[in-house]
Amino acid sequence: MQCGYDKELLTRFLHGELSDEERASVEDHLSECAECRREWESYRHMWGVMDSMGVPEPAADTEMRFEAMLDSYKRSLGSSPSGNAGRWSGEQGVRGSGGWAGEHRGGVWARVLEIFRVHPGFAVGYSVLLVVAGLGFGYLLHRPGVQPGLDGNIDAAAGKKDLVELTRQIGEMREMMMKSLLQNPSASERMRGVSYTSEIHTVSKDVTDALLSTLNNDPNMNVRLMTLEALTHYANDPHVREGLVQSITEQASPLVQAALADVMLRLQEKRAIRPFKKLLQQKDLNGMVRTRIEETIFRLS
Amino acid sequence: MLKVRSGDLDKMGLLFQRHNRPLYGFLFHMTQQKEASEDMMQNVFYRMLRSRHTYTGEGEFRTWMYHLARNVLKDHWKQTRRRGTQQNITDYEERIPAGMAADEQIERKLEIKALERALESLSADSREVLVLSRFQEMKYAEIAEVLEISVGAVKVRVYRAMNELRSIYCQPETQNK
């Protein structure tokens, strides 16, 4: 048996999509037609079961993922040069003028949080500031040798003494390190040792001796050149000057010989003339070096 | 959304709060896959951001959102078809009224499972109108806008879907009896 009723009305009834009139007519029909009633009942049943169909909870990090996505998107806007910068500043202008005050009544704190959210750089800067402040505070609390309640002048004097002592110790350490580096088999390490001397303000005789010995004996030409350069800084020291003059006859490398000639000229060291003349007597002397030395001798005398 | 469109991206958080659950529900009912639905939901919100300039402000935001969601779903199905269907059966608590007796609860659970299977075996078009009307509680007019068809076509589609569902769902029961 087939009822010719428009069954589409039944589903619309279910969905609450009928007008009052239509609903009345459907109810009338249902009370008369068993076939349509059966169909209607099954729809209603399914409708009810659907109501019990749950949706699992989305994962707990859903919102975090969204925030992260939003942040990275904002950052990508900030870094892209395609005119987005203008939009940004425009938007901030709007915020400052009206929308902001209306919606962020949470006070200063909410505003600070908002700024941090928009500019992650501020948050980083703030963290760094906190760390620095913490370190400074810790230092103030546990300053070595400072007793609370002592007179400030004594504090200052003690601090100065400590500082001098500390500087001296650091200097000693540097010297030691330099000397040990000069003994290193690696040329680059020895060069590093030589470069340390530029950080030592007052050099001891030990240091200059070590450098002079390196200048005369180091197998690597580059190390010798660098040592020569370092030694010229201490050329006011007569001991160093003498060492440099003596070194002239010790050098076999043309580059170092030429460099020494330049240094002597710069220092106007007349004592260098004799060793240079001696050097000129060598038959296998490099042509370039020969002319350089001859020139040096001429200009010194 | 209009504020987001004009550049106030922080308003996006508000939209997320308001719409993430229903949207997730839609995607889940369409796929029955928990992880995939979560990923798709994030994807929909990302597309919202990216294509915020296409939102004209005419019509409901919700309609626009479901447009995007349907596109994401289409991409998802294209991908899974290429990779071969991957079914991950998700276990979750159905919303069974707490006052029910134990055997009634079990019966309800069986009914739910049966109807779920029936829904899954429907064509995507049929399932879609049912999900939108029943779970997303949309009126026919809104469904018509989302699907970009006439209200009359929605009526027909809903009826056909319900009828289809009934024939699948009620068949094993009548056989059992």
Residue of B nearest to A50 (CA): B112
B16 to A66: CB separation less than 8 angstroms, yes or no: yes
Phi and psi based region of residue A182 (left: phi greater than 0; alpha: psi -120 to 50; beta: remaining) = alpha
Complex ipTM value: 0.76
Closest Cβ–Cβ partner in B108, B158, B166 for A42: B166
Closest Cβ–Cβ partner in A52, A91, A94 for B95: A52
C-alpha closest to that of A67 among B80, B10, B70: B10
- Chain A residues lying within 8 Å of B158, measured CB to CB: 11-12, 15
Phi and psi angles of residue B89, each rounded to the nearest 5 degrees, phi first: -75, 120
**pLDDT, mean of residues A270-291:** 85
Q: How far apart are CA A216 and CA A297, in angstroms?
A: 22
The pLDDT score that the predictor gives to residue A81 is 44
Closest Cβ–Cβ partner in A11, A39, A52 for B158: A11
Q: How many CA atoms lie within 13 A of A256 on its CB side?
A: 25
A70 to B12: CB separation less than 8 angstroms, yes or no: yes
A87 to B111: CB separation less than 8 angstroms, yes or no: no
User: Which residues lie below 8 Å from residue B111, measured CB to CB, with a gap of 6+?
Assistant: A49
User: Which residues lie below 8 Å from residue A256, measured CB to CB, with a gap of 6+?
Assistant: A221, A224, A225, A228
pLDDT score of A59 more than 70: yes
**pLDDT, mean of residues A130-146:** 79
Residue A58 Cα, gap to closest chain B Cα (Å): 7
Quick check: B37 contacting A, CB < 8 Å? yes
pLDDT score of A118 more than 70: no
Q: Cα separations (Å) of A38 from A30, B42, B170?
A: 9, 43, 12
CB A285 within 8 A of CB A279: yes
The answer to whether domain B2-83 has CATH 3.30.70.1290 is no
Q: What does the domain layout of chain B look like in residue ranges?
A: 2-83, 102-176
- In a mutational test of the A interface, the residue from B4, B9, B21, B107 whose CB has the highest number of chain A CBs within 10 Å is B9
Q: How far apart are CA A11 and CA B154, in angstroms?
A: 11
Mean pLDDT split into 10-residue runs, chain B, 177 residues: 69 83 88 86 87 76 87 85 56 58 76 82 86 86 89 89 85 49
- In a mutational test of the A interface, the residue from B20, B134, B162 whose CB has the highest number of chain A CBs within 10 Å is B162
- Higher pLDDT: A185 or A119? It is A185
CATH architecture of B102-176: Orthogonal Bundle (1.10)
C-alpha closest to that of A258 among A290, A236, A221, A235: A290
B115 to A50: CB separation less than 8 angstroms, yes or no: yes
